[in-house]
Amino acid sequence: MPYSYYDDADYDDGAGSGDAVMVNNPKLEAIQDVKEQATRSRSGLADWTPPPDLTRYPQVTGYLGIPQALGLSEDVWTSPVADDYRTAIDSAHSGAEEAISQIVTDLTDAENAIYDAGQDRVPEDSPLASWPNT
């Protein structure tokens, strides 16, 4: 018989003893997965800069087919309309960063609420364990 650190009689996973078998909370796992994606998106947005060589990368075009990356540079396009365009881009960029940051904050709050309630692991037969199919 192979050596084991545990005597089989001492090992109890809760099954059969009246104790509920505990499983990871699937809602918590979903929140953590979405939070991870939102955090990556926030980092990607913060790190974005126009490509140095616009001929080697796909072009994202805006109004009138003008590449949006070009619209960010004062060296390329100088006029009152260009200033308005740059301001609108900066505003949209800031708004997106703020929205994603708020999403991450809300997800962190939801994650902490689950931990604070002691529901990171839930009984296997509880409605929480079968989320979202409850």
pLDDT in tens, 7-20: 444 444 555 566 78
What pLDDT, on the 0 to 100 scale, is given for residue 126? 93
The model carries a pTM of 0.65
Q: Where do the structural domains in the chain lie, given as residue ranges? A: 22-130
In the chain, pLDDT over 90 holds for what percent of residues? 42
Q: Who has greater pLDDT, 39 or 44?
A: 39
Residue 82 is which amino acid?
A: A
What pLDDT, on the 0 to 100 scale, is given for residue 93? 83
Cα–Cα distance, 133 to 95 (Å, whole number): 34
Residues 6+ apart with CB under 8 A from 89: 68, 71, 72
pLDDT tens digits, 47-83:
766 555 555 555 555 544 555 554 456 666 678 887 8
The confidence band for 108, taking pLDDT boundaries of 50, 70 and 90, is very high
- pLDDT, averaged across the chain: 77
The mean pLDDT value for 30-58 works out to 78
Q: Who has greater pLDDT, 77 or 24?
A: 24
Q: Who has greater pLDDT, 113 or 53?
A: 113
Token pair of 6, please?
């545990």
What pLDDT, on the 0 to 100 scale, is given for residue 112? 98
Residue 127 predicted with pLDDT over 50: yes
CB 91 within 8 A of CB 104: no
